[in-house]
Amino acid sequence: MVYRIALLSFLGLVLSGATTARGDVDLTPIASFYTVDSAKLPNLTFRGAEKPITYTQPSGWRVVGQSKSLLQLIPPQATMADANIAIIDPVEKFTLNADSLPAWKAQASLALPKDLEDSVMLDAALNELKICNHDTLTMTLSYKVSLQKFTTRMVFLVRGEKVWRWQFTALEKDFERLWKPFRESLYSVENL
């Protein structure tokens, strides 16, 4: 049964143009699922350069904003919180190391609201988590918008000429509770 589901998903990707002309990844999600102990679990599949990339969003989170380079996720029963997965062209080419932190901070600032106040970098860590065994840089920033205090955490991963950015933002008071399921979902990424 698992084999048939995987085969049907694979054929669907092939017939829909699973790889793009230049081998880019397309974040337009294709709803799929996988089976574990007779339970069907929802999954998202993205057209990958070599193999389809899969990701399991946190339970109950809504997928919106579908495009080739940005996928937005909304947690249930939360206001002023969202997550996104983006594939970006970096401003400059740099590596994941301590010496490049100022450049990464500048890259992170591009993903913040334009009308923010009091932006502060709270933390930056190399390899706090690995995604598909790839090195990452995690940055946590705090800022205010319209007198509301927000926390955002970004996880960067360099793949070839592109940078993958997983970003989660929420009101400061809700951040840790809502970050946990998003962080756990990052371990579900496969074939990146």
CA distances from 174 to 4, 23, 64, 81, 169 (A): 41, 38, 21, 8, 10
d(CA 166, CA 138) in angstroms, rounded, equals 9
Judged against a pLDDT cut of 60, whether residue 20 lies above it is answered with no
- How would DSSP label each residue in 139-182? EEEEEEETTEEEEEEEEEEEETTEEEEEEEEEEGGGHHHHHHHH
Residue 73 placed within a domain? yes
In the chain, what percentage of residues exceed pLDDT 90? 51
d(CA 6, CA 2) in angstroms, rounded, equals 6
Mean pLDDT of 44-66: 88
Residue 112 placed within a domain? yes
Average pLDDT, the chain: 84
Residue 129 placed within a domain? yes
The range of the structural domain enclosing residue 96 comes to 2-186
| CATH of residue 120 | 3.40.1000.10
Residue 133 placed within a domain? yes
The pLDDT of residue 154 is: 97
Residue 172 placed within a domain? yes
- The pair of three-digit structure tokens given for residue 138, joined into one six-digit string: 């995690």
Residue 143 placed within a domain? yes
Task: Report how many domains make up the chain.
Answer: 1
Residue 191 placed within a domain? no
Judged against a pLDDT cut of 90, whether residue 99 lies above it is answered with no
pTM of the full predicted structure?
A: 0.84
Judged against a pLDDT cut of 70, whether residue 127 lies above it is answered with yes
The pLDDT of residue 8 is: 32
